[in-house]
Structure 1
């Protein structure tokens, strides 16, 4: 009755009387000591908040406290299991990506053929700049030096060549 009225000293007495039993029950359910400590704390916070709703006609204070403790401990177990299940599903999903090596190789060959055919539609100057940049791995400056062409011209050829290449491949 005093705890329900917000009497802190009365609650401290209840805590002293019940904390070991509540903790023991929670620890048996959870096994993990640190989680049991957290849940025990949650139980007593809930008891403090819900004290006005306690009805002695429905059972003893210790019965109410232990029922609350058991319920919270089981909820924690379910929550932990649910989290492990989610993590496992995500881990399986992330680690098992369906991959067809043969199909992928065929796609790469077909795409390579499309690019080579599209390159043939470009002017010699555009094709040469793109091949040196994308297949040769040269920078724009290196291409300009190799072709003995101004850097601005190389940049223009690359830009215009890529625009024409995209159009030839039907890519917008």
Structure 2
């Protein structure tokens, strides 16, 4: 399993044009980033295209990544989520895909029992942390970071000012980070 330090090192090497390090970053993160993108877009082919765009952005912008105490995965997931949301905004609305279909599309056929157990534990931990948030805040976090809703859409849905929604999300993420570190 790759560590945070590995990713930080590889991203630094990518900034210098190291193709081998780029391959390492891709191998270590592509499944996770694909899942994030697919969750937003609900379209496997489109998610694959966006994933390519994301790694082009990583290649071009690796020099902008700064080791600042935040996880390099946070930086990569932010790039992936933003790219997916941008793509979703540019396309006409499509039919809703069931959660089961999305999970099946994300499934890794090479996933073994140990990986499945770890993923289930991580998922349960995250769900437990989301349950600690108030219902509105948890729903807003899910909407923003799992379903690709914009802050403006969420503010309208929850009938709060845009800046209030931003504050909700920022505070909720801080609470989640604290909970997940326990």
What range is the shorter-chain TM-score in? 0.3 to 0.5
Structure 1 or 2, whichever has the larger Rg, is 1
Q: Identify the structure with bigger relative contact order (alpha carbons < 8 Å, sequence gap 6+).
A: 2
Of Structure 1 and Structure 2, the greater helix share is in 1
TM-score, normalisation: structure 1: 0.46
TM-score, normalisation: structure 2: 0.44
